Amino acid sequence: MKAKLRSFCAAAGMGMVFFGFAHAAGEEVPPTPNGIALPKGYKDWRMIASSHRTDNQSLRVILGNGTAVTAARKGKTDPWPEGTMLAKLVWKDRMHPQWQDATVPGKLLHAEFMIRDSRKFSATGGWGFARWVGMEQKPYGDDASFAQECFGCHQAAKETDHVFTVPAEIP
Amino acid sequence: MKAKLRSFCAAAGMGMVFFGFAHAAGEEVPPTPNGIALPKGYKDWRMIASSHRTDNQSLRVILGNGTAVTAARKGKTDPWPEGTMLAKLVWKDRMHPQWQDATVPGKLLHAEFMIRDSRKFSATGGWGFARWVGMEQKPYGDDASFAQECFGCHQAAKETDHVFTVPAEIP
């Protein structure tokens, strides 16, 4: 019995180790309450834009999957095409340590996503909303209704397909 | 004679068309006065950071080649390794059309680069400096001495290998 218990504890311990490792590598991050999985490889996606909000002191970079980047660079974003995935990385801003009139990324606040699937997400403008909070990538929202909170705020961008991102000029 | 002239003009016209196309695609952008060629594919490099300067109202995204991104994500940037290439895209900032407390990229001011080659660029901290201005990608500087202007300003970042970029936290 003791041996079995030891064996179980060792296995559980190893399991925790593996889970911890996998999570750190972005493999086992839990999905959001509306069932969206963290898009793989998003941090290696290409750049579409940046922004700085002074109402909540945050600096942002917006990346996109291939479909999104192609659309952005061709100016074909009205509407954004099916399959578009936009990732917005949001950091608390802070003063540049060597240049006091510059603001740079501080602590990561969250990574948030908009995923275009007009059928699946017809209740929220054809966009699936998802957010993972902090470096620990905790899914945002107590239940699936959190997406209504996202969509409510994005009403301000109704004229641009509910997307705030303004693709940057790139030569 | 007339036929030959027509033929020459047609060929010249086609040449101009081709040159225009090639330049627009970033193939025929002239090198900088210190002999640096525009790095190919830089706009598809991965994201390292962003920044916002309030002294000259500009918003920036910093991208890096593979060597740079690997170094940044491992925190191995003191010094940045040989072969590092950093690209900083700089836009005039402007108010977000739908969110007055947000700043987004406006007109592209320039794309500028730091290229680590300790031998070749030993006079400027082991960095080759280059900048192309505007969407037309005009090389910056009247002669090779412009790099001293860059290096002079980057003295403020001497403690961080003359690099102002602060790699952002990425999960």
Q: pLDDT tens digit string along A126-159?
A: 999 999 999 999 999 999 999 999 999 999 999 9
Instruction: Record the pTM.
Output: 0.85
Q: Is B54 within 8 Å of A101 when comparing Cβ atoms?
A: yes
pLDDT tens digits for range A7-50: 443 443 333 333 434 455 545 899 999 999 999 999 999 999 99
CB atoms under 10 Å from CB of B61, counted, come to 24
Share of chain A residues as helix, strand and coil, in percent rounded to the nearest 5: 30, 30, 35
Q: Say if domain A33-160 classifies as CATH 3.50.70.20.
A: yes
Query: In chain A, what are the domain boundaries?
Result: 1-30, 33-160
**Interface check A6 vs B, CB under 8 A:** no
Please determine, for residue B140, whether its predicted confidence score (pLDDT) is greater than 50: yes
DSSP-derived secondary structure letter, A163: -
Read off the pLDDT of residues B33-46 as tens digits, 9 standing for 90 and up. Answer: 999 999 999 999 99
The average pLDDT across B154-160 equals 97
pLDDT in tens, B51-91: 999 999 999 999 999 999 999 999 999 999 999 999 999 99
Read off the pLDDT band of B25 (50, 70, 90). low
Contact A171 B105 (CB under 8 A): no
B164 contacts A102? CB cut-off 8 A = yes
Do B135 and A168 lie within an 8 Å CB cutoff?
Answer: no
User: Could you tell me the sign of the dihedral formed by the alpha carbons of B157, B42, A103, A100, in that order?
Assistant: positive
State how far the Cα of A73 lies from the Cα of B29, in Å rounded to an integer.
19
CATH number of B31-160: 3.50.70.20
Q: Which B positions 95-124 lie with beta carbon below 8 A of chain A?
A: 96-99, 101-108, 111
Q: Output B141-148 pairs: Cβ under 8 A, ≥24 positions apart.
A: B141/B32, B141/B33, B141/B34, B142/B33, B143/B33, B144/B33, B144/B34, B144/B35, B146/B32, B146/B33, B146/B34, B147/B34, B148/B124
